[in-house]
Amino acid sequence: MLRFILRKLGFACLILWGVATLVFFLFMALPSAEEMLVGQRSDVKTKEAIIRELGLDKSLYQRYLYFLNDLSPISFYADAEGAAQIPGFRISIGGQAILMLKKPWLRTSYQNKKPVADVLMDAFPGTLLLAGAALLFAAVLGIGLGLVAALKAGKIADHLISGISALGISAPSFFAAMLIAWLFGYLWHDYTGLSMTGSMYEVDPLGRGRVLALHNLILPCIALGIRPLSVFVQLTRNNVLEQLSQPYVRTARAKGLTEPRILFTHVLRNALNPVLTAVTGWFASLLAGAFFTEYIFNWKGIGKLTIDALQQSDLPLVMGAVLLSSLLFVLISFVTDIMYKILDPRVSTV
């Protein structure tokens, strides 16, 4: 088991290193940061100051090493003054050189001058809530509809559920989000009471500060959950039908077990294993892929923050958002692999 965990951890670290390297060199191909920041102040001294502040006067190889050093939780800085703005535990190792224990340093935002990590962590709860709610909505409704379709195989209910799920899989997320926002938030607003846009918190006009507004979660939750819901319907239906044709079901019926007991005690237990695998994978995808849904509904999360940063050419914030999304995806995959190994020791350690 320890060998399995260490192997998976090593793979996860290699993937994160590869993503960080790819992100660095991709963003280095973009226009110079000083041109984006200088704005109307086009004088040479201003540009030179910005270049020195951002370390753009160093070679590409040096900037890459500094980038990896900033991301590492254990970092070495030869100049203590240069690392003064980085929060963490410092260990002096003589002169100006220090060793730091810290969280990954993603620099500061070009626009608001705040640490990128702090900006991302402020937006992350919104994305986590939206992804979790969409996954719960998709899993509960998808498994239920898939079970109904399997039990009514070949009948009108089965064809209707399968047709709707096929439509849900084929519809792009951004199109579904715009359609849902227009129908339920604008056209039928008088009946639903829902708005086209809104975030987790709203400012109370009575002066009580921010108040929780979970009703704003309904439409983006449905829009984001449509595709995984459709996948769960198809997986549940197909797996339940496959299990119902197994010999152990016929044996259970011959022994006199009731249909509900056969279904919920034996069939679903075996049929839901692939569905649970898909649920775990979709959670990582929803966390990393809620960008357009958040932007369309003006839901304040990592996705909307990233698109706003792209429009403002805020490169450190965009890089931080990409790296955070990659970290979440790899971390969830790592935990899923460990859970599989615990639940089924036959899982290969390769």
Digit-coded pLDDT (tens) for 222-233: 999 998 999 899
pLDDT band at 105 (very low <50, low <70, confident <90, very high): confident
Q: Between 207 and 325, whose confidence is greater?
A: 325
Q: Is residue 297 part of a domain?
A: yes
Domain membership flag for residue 8? no
- Are 159 and 281 in the same domain? yes
Q: For residue 87, what are the domain limits? A: 72-105
Q: Residue for token digits 């599989």?
A: 340
Is 157 inside any structural domain? Answer: yes
CA-nearest of 293, 249, 1 to 134 is 293
The mean of the pLDDT values for the chain is 81
Per-residue model confidence as pLDDT tens digits over 258-286: 878 888 877 887 787 777 777 877 887 78
Do 148 and 289 lie in one domain? The reply is yes
Using the predicted structure, report yes or no on whether residue 350 has a pLDDT greater than 70.
Answer: no
Q: How confident is the model at residue 41 (pLDDT cuts 50, 70, 90)?
A: low
Cα–Cα distance for residue pair 313/301, rounded to 1 Å: 18
Token pair for 293: 């849904």
Q: Is 211 helix (H, G, I), strand (E, B) or coil?
A: strand
At residue 145, the pLDDT reads 92
Residue 83 C-beta-side C-alpha neighbours within 13 Å: 25
Do 155 and 183 have their domain in common?
yes
In the sheet that 74-77 helps form, which strands lie side by side, from edge to edge? 74-77, 98-101, 89-92
Residue 127 lies inside a defined structural domain of this protein: yes
Q: Determine the pLDDT at residue 192.
A: 86
The verdict on 46 and 157 lying in the same domain is: no
pTM comes to 0.81
